[in-house]
Structure 1
Amino acid sequence: MNVSIAPPITAQVPDFKIAVLSYEDITIGPSPQMLRGRLDFFQENIKADLLDHEITAYEGVREWREVFQTLGISPSKYRPSHEALFRRVAKHEAIPNLHSAVDINNFFSLQYEFPSGIYDTDQLQGAITLRFGREDETFTGINGRSNRAAGKIVTADDLGPFGSPIVDSERTKTTENTTRALQIFYLQPSLSVNQAAKLADAAAGMFTQLHGGNASVQIIPAETKEHDA
């Protein structure tokens, strides 16, 4: 799948990069106890950590707040989605279990400390670009609200924005009927390409172990070529 990052973003954050994980022939269902247990255990560890530390003690939270500030986006008004998860856990509000694809996506966001989105590939049309939202663009988020895209980072296809490091869209959400999925890791710029590739390969392996099918991984922008995970 053709995925790119618009130059105005990399002009301001030269090391900006994403991991694109493509899955085929997968089966999504209720999360097994193993995944639910790992997610619950991780949340308990975060609660314990935050008794003595601020959320910004997490490097990935702090770095993404800096990215937003560099790009002219208020991280207090529009929180990166992984920070929103951390803050929910800090308030002792459990992250709900939805289905295996969403639950493992949330697990990756907490484990690796970056925004992560997962989308139904069959609901996407044309090339995909990570860019700034345009003044007239809106999309209905999985939060049920209409979200203005202007000035924010969005991931868009030919039909318009469908995702972002803040909130994803209702249009492209995965369900238990999804058999092809696209997962995007909005990586910390400080990660090297090699670090990002190893991380994404490990995540893709965990995803396909749970859902079957096969995966391919690409780091964008990068000089490395696409490879099987």
Structure 2
Amino acid sequence: MKITIDENLFQLMPDLKLGIIHYNKITVSESPQMLKGRLQLFQEQLFFELDTKPLTDFQGIKEWRETWKAFGADPNRYRPSAEALFRRIKKQNYLRTVHTAVDLNTFFSLQYEIPAGIYDLGKIVGDIHLTVGGEEDGYDGLNGRFNSLDRILQLKDEYSPFGSPYVDSVRTAVTEETTDALHVLFLRPSMDKEEALQLTTACGNMFTSISGGESTCYVLNEESPSVLLNGSKPFNL
């Protein structure tokens, strides 16, 4: 399986970067109390911080709003997922735990102020491309409705779009049956490659410390816009 960023994206956002983590032989289950407590505490601390600090003062939120605009989307209408999480917490509408994969994905998104998505590799068809969606692009999302991806970054396999920094699809959702997964971190463009790889590796290490298995980490950018995942076994049409 090959993952590629469409080269045209770099014309609008030269510093665009993705953190890619390939997980093998993981166990997805109910989150341990340590993770549940840490996620709850982080949300409570963030709630008090948001009481005095505007959302746009958070560097990650600010950068992803700018990225949204660079590709032609309106961040006031379709919010990057990290900002949507922050807005929920600001209303004290705390996120409930689901399982280790979703809870860790949420934690990383909040901690680093970036959109992030995790996908079941067994449900992905062929190679993956990061592109900008058109009027015809969209899917049934984890938010319970159909989501248009017009002018929004999308992850697309050979079947259809399945993920984005907006909301992810039902089709490739991770469940407690998932053993191989793909974690995509929509990194801050301002990060240099070394910092981006350190962050991606830290996330992979924390994930496998809780869910077991192995992780392999990569950073895609203008200099290295694609990667071939070794040992991945995608579903074929």
TM over 0.5: yes
**Any stretches of 5+ residues in structure 1 without a counterpart?**
none
Does the alignment pair 1:105 with 2:105? yes
- With the length of structure 2 as denominator, give the TM-score of the two structures: 0.93
**Any stretches of 5+ residues in structure 2 without a counterpart?**
231-237
- Corresponding residue of 1:55: 55
Counterpart code for 1:162: F
Q: Structure 1 residue runs of 4+, over 4 Å off?
A: 222-228
Inter-partner Cα distance in structure 1 for 2:145 and 2:53:
32
Alpha carbons 1:162, 1:171 under 8 Å: kept: yes
Query: For each residue in 1:77-108, what CA deviation from the matched residue of structure 2 results, as whole angstroms up to 9, or x when unmatched?
Result: 01000100000000000101111100000000
The secondary structure found in structure 2 opposite 1:94 is coil
Residue 134 of structure 1: CA displacement? 2.6
Counterpart code for 2:153: I
Query: For each residue in 1:58-84, what CA deviation from the matched residue of structure 2 results, as whole angstroms up to 9, or x when unmatched?
Result: 100011001111111100101000100
Query: For each residue in 1:158-212, what CA deviation from the matched residue of structure 2 results, as whole angstroms up to 9, or x when unmatched?
Result: 0110000000000000000100100000011000110000011111000000011
Alpha carbons 2:2, 2:228 under 8 Å: kept: no
Query: For each residue in 1:143-162, what CA deviation from the matched residue of structure 2 results, as whole angstroms up to 9, or x when unmatched?
Result: 12111222211110001100
- Corresponding residue of 1:44: 44
Matches within 5 A, 1:15-54: 15-54=15-54
Inter-partner Cα distance in structure 2 for 1:189 and 1:118:
20
Counterpart code for 1:164: S
Inter-partner Cα distance in structure 1 for 2:49 and 2:108:
18
The secondary structure found in structure 1 opposite 2:37 is helix
- Corresponding residue of 1:147: 147
**Residue range with higher mean Cα deviation, 143-152 or 100-109:** 143-152
- Corresponding residue of 1:170: 170
Inter-partner Cα distance in structure 2 for 1:211 and 1:144:
27
**Residue range with higher mean Cα deviation, 149-158 or 29-38:** 149-158
Inter-partner Cα distance in structure 1 for 2:20 and 2:125:
16
**Paired residues, what number?**
228
Inter-partner Cα distance in structure 2 for 1:130 and 1:220:
11
Alpha carbons 1:217, 1:226 under 8 Å: kept: no
Alpha carbons 2:22, 2:181 under 8 Å: kept: yes
Residue 226 of structure 1: CA displacement? 8.4
Alpha carbons 1:26, 1:213 under 8 Å: kept: yes
Inter-partner Cα distance in structure 1 for 2:54 and 2:64:
15
The secondary structure found in structure 2 opposite 1:197 is helix
- Corresponding residue of 1:220: 220
The secondary structure found in structure 1 opposite 2:8 is helix
- Corresponding residue of 2:193: 193
Inter-partner Cα distance in structure 2 for 1:137 and 1:84:
21
Matches within 5 A, 1:107-126: 107-126=107-126
Inter-partner Cα distance in structure 1 for 2:158 and 2:228:
23
- With the length of structure 1 as denominator, give the TM-score of the two structures: 0.96
Inter-partner Cα distance in structure 2 for 1:30 and 1:223:
36
- Corresponding residue of 1:137: 137
Alpha carbons 1:218, 1:226 under 8 Å: kept: no
Alpha carbons 1:216, 1:226 under 8 Å: kept: no
**Residue range with higher mean Cα deviation, 74-83 or 3-12:** 3-12
Alpha carbons 1:20, 1:218 under 8 Å: kept: yes
Residue 227 of structure 1: CA displacement? 10
Inter-partner Cα distance in structure 1 for 2:95 and 2:195:
28
**Residue range with higher mean Cα deviation, 49-58 or 15-24:** 49-58
Matches within 5 A, 1:7-18: 7-18=7-18
Alpha carbons 2:22, 2:229 under 8 Å: kept: no
